[in-house]
């Protein structure tokens, strides 16, 4: 950080410096009395932008989306003591399931409250002031509190280092009186991380991997959701071409060009791409990179029966057939060594080999008053996904509609499949759009999920962001209905288009925000909303999305309640039977 004197540093500005080193340019905030000093000091840094969300849970989801989409692959959050921490805990659990680097900074009362056993607000009982610290231990690489000014820099650095080394969230509590206290000038963070990092078994893993690969006859490469935190798209393509084998992706791991000749489509056994599934099940070796084996991913297969042919590249380990685990390793270093190796034998395909992709269920959109269908809507979404788009899908049938969208090269698809927290997508889309402002996020969300986190539409409008939001209004929780019918699956039908345009209104007093840099032009609210009931409505809306590209586009897609993808029906049957074959 240029032109900063040693005595200009306090703990808050120290944290801001660490954010910059990580490449984090935006941080997500809910203010409270315990974190205001920290926020004041972060605001002093002109290279960081504060994004204020509507509640702490949404803040966590937004950071999740930011960590996925940003070049930094990391995010930071500031929340109040305990009430904020416990509210955000669910979102951080989801980030943990995907190994996302999310730094949660929680303000807390002054140190005298802890050293003197004084009662304070925001605690479940006068004696329980560590509830959030304990709660975060199971879903973070570190859950710590800064106790003294002298230890502040080391405690913060050690936690952030663990976040980077383990690619997991961390939780840091910072007393309000320490946040503004002077501290030392920071040494480079990468120096600290390198000193603490031990990844020295790549050679052993490469030898074991090479022996197995060269003795196989029909190997395949499987990519999962966590590959996004392990390898870049370019490295993935180099690896695929080095190995020469078919490549299949889990539905949340589509990180290779879908026009690549080795791409064999989605691997979602029992639900999608049955030809690709047959190929995998007939293979004698699976190389799985960043793959999750949750029941939602495996569906119709028992992964325990596949251990004899499975090599798993996880974050810092390689699992081999027979149960041997080689750790610690760096997957990126191991893959680079594989690409450079002259010992690995590329697969030679028999004559006539070519990938087989499942037929699309998209249907032509008619210029008529025919009712909107999932199939015609899919065709419309396909036209909206451009080369610089980011596709985000909430839990439910939107998983499957996303799986039927062909992704242009470089387009990322984000979904939260293993944790499957309904409502995650709206704030996650906010985070992704903040992280990638030069491309539009295309969000697909059901009406039930939308009702959980709808408030962040207001944040998007306030920030003049321009995502495309497709609300699948099928009158309730249709994923749950597919599993088991019941009155609990039905919700109030909101006037969604009116709601979307109501999130910004003229204030009743001036100035409404004395800190605003410029006045908001309420005569040109940066959002439009359309209710789509017919296919002609859809065509008009698509045209409007293009002509008013600087605005948030909110499209309420009115779908018949029994109109769903065949995959959702199949999933519902499998879930209701406990995923039995």
- Token output for 501: 């345009």
Other C-beta atoms closer than 10 Å to the C-beta of 4 total 11
pLDDT tier at 521, thresholds 50, 70, 90 = low
Q: Is residue 425 predicted with pLDDT exceeding 60?
A: yes
Q: Are 378 and 212 in contact (CB under 8 A)?
A: no
- The distance of Cα 46 from the centroid of its chain, to the nearest Å, equals 27
- Are 377 and 493 within one domain? yes
* Residue 349 domain flag: no
Q: Is residue 3 predicted with pLDDT exceeding 80?
A: no
Q: Are 420 and 395 in contact (CB under 8 A)?
A: yes
pLDDT tier at 384, thresholds 50, 70, 90 = very high
Residue closest to 186 by CA, chosen among 339, 346, 344, 8: 8
The pLDDT, as a whole number, for residue 299 is 77
pLDDT in tens, 17-59: 999 999 999 999 999 999 999 999 999 999 999 999 999 999 9
The pLDDT, as a whole number, for residue 6 is 46
- Are 319 and 457 within one domain? no
- Are 123 and 183 within one domain? yes
- Give Cβ neighbours of residue 473 (< 8 Å, ≥ 6 apart): 447, 493, 496, 556, 557, 558, 559
* Residue 175 domain flag: yes
Residue closest to 370 by CA, chosen among 510, 532, 238: 532
Strands 310-313 and 318-319: antiparallel
- Are 224 and 120 within one domain? no
- Domain span at residue 264 reads 200-340
Instruction: Tell me the C-alpha distance between 115 and 110, whole Å.
Output: 9
- Segment among 53-57, 197-201, 407-411, 512-516 with least mean pLDDT: 197-201
pLDDT tier at 9, thresholds 50, 70, 90 = confident
Q: Is residue 122 predicted with pLDDT exceeding 90?
A: no
- Token output for 166: 């383990």
pLDDT tier at 351, thresholds 50, 70, 90 = low
Instruction: Indicate which CATH number applies to the domain containing 75.
Output: 3.40.50.970
* Residue 324 domain flag: yes
Q: Is residue 191 predicted with pLDDT exceeding 50?
A: yes
- Report, in angstroms and rounded to the nearest whole number, the Rg of the chain calculated over CA atoms: 25
* Residue 355 domain flag: no
- Are 80 and 122 within one domain? yes
Domain's final residue, options 307, 340, 373: 340
Q: Are 9 and 182 in contact (CB under 8 A)?
A: yes
pLDDT in tens, 103-121: 999 999 999 888 777 778 8
- Are 84 and 182 within one domain? yes
The pLDDT, as a whole number, for residue 302 is 87
Tokens 């840099």 -> residue:
517
Instruction: Tell me the C-alpha distance between 94 and 139, whole Å.
Output: 9
- Are 368 and 517 within one domain? yes
* Residue 353 domain flag: no
Name the average pLDDT for the chain.
90
Half-sphere exposure of 274 (CA within 13 A, CB side): 4
Burial 469-506, CB ≥16 within 10 A → b, else e: bbbbbbbbbbbbbbbeeeeebeeeebebbebbbebeee
Considering its fold, how many domains does the chain have in total?
A: 3
- The distance of Cα 336 from the centroid of its chain, to the nearest Å, equals 25
Domain's final residue, options 192, 227, 254: 192
* Residue 6 domain flag: no
Domain's final residue, options 192, 224, 249: 192
- Are 381 and 427 within one domain? yes
The pLDDT, as a whole number, for residue 284 is 95
Q: Is 519 left (phi over 0), alpha (psi -120 to 50) or beta?
A: beta
* Residue 351 domain flag: no
- Give Cβ neighbours of residue 459 (< 8 Å, ≥ 6 apart): 51, 52, 53, 54, 430
- Are 228 and 187 within one domain? no
Instruction: Tell me the C-alpha distance between 338 and 455, whole Å.
Output: 47
Binding annotation for Mg(2+)? 447, 474, 476
- Are 394 and 367 within one domain? yes
Instruction: Indicate which CATH number applies to the domain containing 259.
Output: 3.40.50.1220
- Are 171 and 210 within one domain? no
Binding annotation? 447, 474, 476
* Residue 4 domain flag: no
- Are 179 and 207 within one domain? no
3-state SS track over 134-158:
HHHHHHCCEEEECCCCCCHHHHHHH
Instruction: Tell me the C-alpha distance between 478 and 154, whole Å.
Output: 49
């Amino acid at each position: 950080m240029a032109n900063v004197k040693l005595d200009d540093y306090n703990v808050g500005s120290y944290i801001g410096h660490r954010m910059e080193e990580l490449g984090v340019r935006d941080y997500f905030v809910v203010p409270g009395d315990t974190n205001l000093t920290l926020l004041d000091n972060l605001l002093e840094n002109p290279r960081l932008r504060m994004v204020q969300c509507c509640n702490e849970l949404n803040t966590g989801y937004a950071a999740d989306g930011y960590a996925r989409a940003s070049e930094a692959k990391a995010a930071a959050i500031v929340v109040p003591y305990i009430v904020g921490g416990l509210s955000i805990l669910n979102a951080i659990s989801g980030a943990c399931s995907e190994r996302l680097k999310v730094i949660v900074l929680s303000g807390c009362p002054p140190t005298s409250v802890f050293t003197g056993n004084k009662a304070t607000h925001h605690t479940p009982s006068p004696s329980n002031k560590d509830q959030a610290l304990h709660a975060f231990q199971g879903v973070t690489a570190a859950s710590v509190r800064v106790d003294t000014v002298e230890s502040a820099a080391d405690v913060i650095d050690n936690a952030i280092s663990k976040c980077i080394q383990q690619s997991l969230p961390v939780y840091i509590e910072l007393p309000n009186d320490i946040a503004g206290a002077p501290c030392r000038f920071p040494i480079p963070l990468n120096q600290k991380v390198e000193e603490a990092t031990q990844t020295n078994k790549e050679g052993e893993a490469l030898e074991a991997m090479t022996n197995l690969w060269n003795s196989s006859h029909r190997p395949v490469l499987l990519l999962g959701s966590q590959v996004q935190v392990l390898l870049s798209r370019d490295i993935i393509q180099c690896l695929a071409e080095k190995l020469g084998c078919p490549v299949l992706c889990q539905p949340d791991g589509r990180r290779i060009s879908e026009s690549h000749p080795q791409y064999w489509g989605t691997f979602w056994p029992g639900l999608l791409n049955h030809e690709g599934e047959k190929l995998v099940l007939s293979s004698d070796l699976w190389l799985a990179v960043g793959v999750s084996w949750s029941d939602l991913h495996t569906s119709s297969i028992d992964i325990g029966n596949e251990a004899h042919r499975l090599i798993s590249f996880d974050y810092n380990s390689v699992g081999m057939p027979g149960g041997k685990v080689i750790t610690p390793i760096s997957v990126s270093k191991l893959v680079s060594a594989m690409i450079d190796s002259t010992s690995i034998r590329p697969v030679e395909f028999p004559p006539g080999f070519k990938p087989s992709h499942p037929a699309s269920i998209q249907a032509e959109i008619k210029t008529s008053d025919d009712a909107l269908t999932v199939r015609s809507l899919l065709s419309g979404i396909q036209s909206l996904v451009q080369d610089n788009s980011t596709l985000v899908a909430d839990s439910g049938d939107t998983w499957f509609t996303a799986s039927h969208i062909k992704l242009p090269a470089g387009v990322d698809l984000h979904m939260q499949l293993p944790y499957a927290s309904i409502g995650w997508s709206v704030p996650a889309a906010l985070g992704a759009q903040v992280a990638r402002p030069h491309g539009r996020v295309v969000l697909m969300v059901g009406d039930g999920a939308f009702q959980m986190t709808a408030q962040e539409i207001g944040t998007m409008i306030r920030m003049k962001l321009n995502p495309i939001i497709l609300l699948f209004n099928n009158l309730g929780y249709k994923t749950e209905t597919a599993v088991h019918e019941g009155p609990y699956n039905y919700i109030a039908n909101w006037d969604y288009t009116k709601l979307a345009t109501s999130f910004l209104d003229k204030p009743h007093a001036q100035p409404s925000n004395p800190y605003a840099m410029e006045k908001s032009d309420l005569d040109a609210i940066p959002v439009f909303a359309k209710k789509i009931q017919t296919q002609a409505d859809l065509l008009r809306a698509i045209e409007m999305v293009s002509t008013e590209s600087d605005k948030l586009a909110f499209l309420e897609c009115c779908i018949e309640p029994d109109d769903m993808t065949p995959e959702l029906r199949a999933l519902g049957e499998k879930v209701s039977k406990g995923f039995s074959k």
